[in-house]
Amino acid sequence: MKPRLHLFIIWERSLGKKDIILEDLKNEYTSREVFGIKWKAAEFMKNLKRFYGNKLPNASLKAKECGKGSFLLVLISDNNPKLEKTALDDINQVEINSNAFNSKQKYRKWVGGGFQIHASNSDEETKHDLTLLFGKKIEVIENDLPKKWDGVIKKMGEQNLTGHNGWKNMTQFFDVLNSTTNYIVLRSFEELPEKILHKDLDILTDDVKSMSIIINGEGNSVDLPIIIDGKKVSIDFRYQMGHHYEEKWSKEILKKRILFKNSFYVPCKEDYFYLLFFHNMRTNSKKYNEKLEQLATEIGIKENIVEILSNNLKSKKFMAKYMKKMGYNETNFISRLIYKIKNNEMMRLVNASIFLVKTYGIVFFLKKVKLKIKNTL
């Protein structure tokens, strides 16, 4: 089994125990590097919220418990990881390295309890945290690390999370998204990331709230303006799961997404064709006719697409035939309302709780609640 990279954060109020924690990490794992980091005081809370996202119920309490001053970031390699599946994410199975998880719990006891020590439990969490901290692909970060820590803390100076004051360029923006969210750029992406041809990006994601926090957007949940390479770009979330596209179709689109130019995620060719067709049909537009003809040839569609699009009835029949074949449904007011109710955060937690109690019993459920609280902070 290949070594796993993990990070540990010793927040300000726990620095009194840093020596014994660093020594234990060196004994248990291969210490790769230790950074001294200080977030700008005025922006500490915002950085904290972006770092933890939806997992952080109360940023003020977290900051009060952990302190707002300098902290240590410790990167280690576990050469003998112990991977196991656990229901840390409500009813979903998540693969974690129990070695890192157990070390985190041990250090929390050493510093007096609470959540003054942070650690990444999985590859996904490591990727998420380090990309936000450094603004680079995880492969680049790991490649730049020394094989073994030299014992000197590398001071980074005062800074903020990547993207705090806008994004350096589109590449940096996508590098962070690729490591932190599940998304696709819906259309008009052919010239990206080199050129931004439009002032907005149409994004489909399975978690608008999380992405909104990560990209540091300000505004309503539909249209978030951000700064990329000094230019204002709006991130358009109008075309969302359960709203513009039904839940099943959206999930399939995200499941089959492909990495374009080794830079960002887009729909596969078949999904791209039907997404553009659906868009042209719904907006009564001819904007993507040429692209649709090209895609139709590439995926083996024989019909005259431009002719079909010129006729509203033919367009609806063509789209309906595909939707029926795939088992998808068009959204309407009732379906959107049901989706919103079903995916309401409180409803989600209630359903997850009922499932766990019915399936595993109340004792198991209470243990998982306790474990969830410990793991997320």
Instruction: Write out the residue range of the structural domain in which residue 358 sits.
Output: 333-372
319 and 355, same domain (yes or no): no
Statement: residue 131 has pLDDT above 80: yes
Mean pLDDT of all residues belonging to the chain:
88
319 and 357, same domain (yes or no): no
12 and 133, same domain (yes or no): yes
Reported for 263-268, long-range contacts at CB under 8 A and 24+ positions apart, including other chains, are 263/171, 263/174, 263/192, 263/193, 264/174, 264/177, 264/178, 264/185, 264/189, 264/192, 264/193, 265/178, 265/183, 265/184, 265/185, 266/184, 266/185, 266/189, 267/184, 267/186
C-alpha distances in Å from residue 248, one per residue of 159, 194, 319, 360: 41, 32, 16, 28
Let me know if residue 237 belongs to a domain: yes
364 and 239, same domain (yes or no): no
Q: Are 31 and 148 in contact (CB under 8 A)?
A: yes
Q: Each residue of 358-372: pLDDT tens digit?
A: 656 787 778 767 766
pLDDT on residue 216: 87
Statement: residue 202 has pLDDT above 80: yes
Rounded Cα distance between 275 and 189, Å, is 13
Report residue 70 as tokens. Answer: 């300098």
304 and 360, same domain (yes or no): no
Q: In the listed set 132, 160, 188, which residue is the last one of a domain according to the structure? A: 160
Pick the closest to residue 37 from 164, 133, 120, 172 (CA basis): 133
Mean pLDDT, to the nearest integer, of 292-302? 95
Let me know if residue 315 belongs to a domain: yes
216 and 360, same domain (yes or no): no
Statement: residue 129 has pLDDT above 90: yes
Report CA dihedral (220, 372, 161, 343) to the nearest 10 degrees.
-20
Q: In the listed set 108, 138, 160, which residue is the last one of a domain according to the structure? A: 160
pLDDT on residue 333: 47
pLDDT on residue 335: 53
Return the CATH number at 153.
Answer: 3.30.70.141
Q: Each residue of 12-33: pLDDT tens digit?
A: 999 999 999 999 999 999 999 9
Q: Are 179 and 131 in contact (CB under 8 A)?
A: yes
345 and 221, same domain (yes or no): no
8 and 142, same domain (yes or no): yes
120 and 262, same domain (yes or no): no
What proportion of the chain, given as a percentage, has pLDDT over 70? 86
205 and 77, same domain (yes or no): no
Q: Are 99 and 24 in contact (CB under 8 A)?
A: no
Pick the closest to residue 70 from 37, 105, 44 (CA basis): 37
pLDDT on residue 342: 58
Q: Each residue of 43-66: pLDDT tens digit?
A: 999 999 999 988 888 889 999 999
Q: Each residue of 309-357: pLDDT tens digit?
A: 899 999 999 999 999 999 988 765 455 555 555 555 555 566 667 756 7
139 and 66, same domain (yes or no): yes
Let me know if residue 350 belongs to a domain: yes
Rounded Cα distance between 289 and 238, Å, is 22
Domain count, the chain: 3
- Element at 273 (helix H, strand E): helix 269-283
Mean pLDDT lowest among 56-70, 81-95, 147-161 = 81-95
Q: In the listed set 160, 180, 204, which residue is the last one of a domain according to the structure? A: 160
pLDDT on residue 198: 75
227 and 125, same domain (yes or no): no
Rounded Cα distance between 245 and 68, Å, is 42
Let me know if residue 165 belongs to a domain: no
Return the CATH number at 227.
Answer: 3.30.460
